[in-house]
Amino acid sequence: MNFNCCKTKKSKQDLKRTVGFLKVIAEENRLKILCILRKQEMCVCEIWQHLGLPQNLASHHLKVLKDLGLVEHRKESTKVLYSVNQKVINKYSSLLSGFIINI
Amino acid sequence: MNFNCCKTKKSKQDLKRTVGFLKVIAEENRLKILCILRKQEMCVCEIWQHLGLPQNLASHHLKVLKDLGLVEHRKESTKVLYSVNQKVINKYSSLLSGFIINI
DNA sequence: GTATAATATCAATATAGATTGATATTTGTG
DNA sequence: CACAAATATCAATCTATATTGATATTATAC
């Protein structure tokens, strides 16, 4: 029997990276942020107002998302505009599929 | 602008259910369990021995997975054999895709 | 340079959840 | 019925992380 998912070095690493991704998106506010950023680029003040979060909390969650590369940002005067990095999301998403979807 | 992901009653509910799913699978041991159960049905003692977990911890994680319907079990004398419920996993998986995958 | 708006950071606290140790339950065997 | 094997449950503890409040930073406008 070959338990590929937790024996080889590569599969162990993939599992850890997948869990890292899941922990980041397994939070209501962060999943909401990803969801609204899919529609359009947004500055932080739009995000926290839209979600009804305190500014610093929104900022914190954005940092968590950014640290994993799920979102990116650009500055425009005093505002910071965030957007999703769909490529990275797709990469993690297919990594996840490998663990939970049957071939 | 239509932020479907967090405005309508249905989308709010979908988001919560998706986060619930993610929280359950965003744990290394549980994702491993799902992974090895994909290959074959297994009793608890095989699972905890295979993963190097204390028996009660494996039992706990199995309960978390079972409470969401991701795994099911049947009894065979003193043993309890667990297996994945791929239908439920697929259902949650496609729910998740709706939030993170672009159409 | 001062004031203001937007954002980020940091320490402290609160909360959720993983892990452990002990014990209960269930089923089969002598 | 006593005993053992397999599993589940429960309370306690530990750990990770979400949240809050206060403050720092950055860019712009006056």
Tens-place pLDDT, residues B65-88: 999 999 999 999 999 999 999 999
Question: What backbone torsions phi and psi does residue B2 show, to the nearest 5 degrees?
Answer: -115, 100
Three-point CA angle B49, B53, B56, nearest 5° = 105
- What is the mean pLDDT of the segment spanning A55-69? 98
Alpha carbon distance B99, A30 (integer Å): 11
Q: Nearest CB to B6: which of A3, A27, A35?
A: A35
Chain B interface residues (partner A, CB cutoff 8 A): 1-3, 5-6, 15-16, 18-19, 22-23, 25-28, 31-32, 34-36, 38-40, 50-51, 86, 89-90, 93, 97, 99-102
Alpha carbon distance B91, B97 (integer Å): 10
C1' (C26) to CA (B49) span, angstroms: 21
Chain C: nucleotides under 7 Å from a protein CB?
5-10, 17-23, 26-28
Domains of chain B, by residue range, sit at: 10-100
Alpha carbon distance B46, B29 (integer Å): 14
Q: Nearest CB to A32: which of B6, B38, B89?
A: B6
The confidence band for A73, taking pLDDT boundaries of 50, 70 and 90, is very high
What pLDDT sits at residue A4?
62
Residues in A closer than 8 angstroms to B32, CB to CB, are 5-6, 15
How many other CB atoms are found less than 10 A from the CB of residue A68?
Answer: 17
C1' (D30) to CA (A74) span, angstroms: 27
What pLDDT sits at residue A2?
42
Residues in B closer than 8 angstroms to A90, CB to CB, are 101
Amino acid at B68: L
What pLDDT sits at residue B1?
40
> Beta carbon of A87 within 7 Å of strand D?
no
Alpha carbon distance A55, A59 (integer Å): 6
Amino acid at B13: Q
What pLDDT sits at residue B101?
86
Residue that wins the pLDDT comparison between B30 and B5? B30
Which architecture characterizes domain B10-100 according to CATH?
Answer: Orthogonal Bundle (1.10)
Chain D: nucleotides under 7 Å from a protein CB?
4-10, 17-23, 26-28
Amino acid at A53: L
Question: b/e for B35-70, b at 16 or more Cβ within 10 A?
Answer: bbbbeeebbbebbbebbebeeeebeebbebbeebeb
What pLDDT sits at residue A1?
40
* Least trusted range by pLDDT, from A6-10, B46-50, B58-62, B70-74: A6-10
Alpha carbon distance B72, A36 (integer Å): 35
> Beta carbon of B19 within 7 Å of strand C?
no
Residue that wins the pLDDT comparison between B94 and A3? B94
H helices present in chain A, as ranges: 9-25, 28-39, 44-51, 55-67, 86-100
The confidence band for B8, taking pLDDT boundaries of 50, 70 and 90, is confident
Residue of B71, B82, B98, B92 whose CA lies nearest to B22: B92
Residue that wins the pLDDT comparison between B5 and B80? B80
Contact A26, B19 (CB under 8 A): yes
- What is the mean pLDDT of the segment spanning A53-65? 98
Averaged confidence pLDDT in chain A: 93
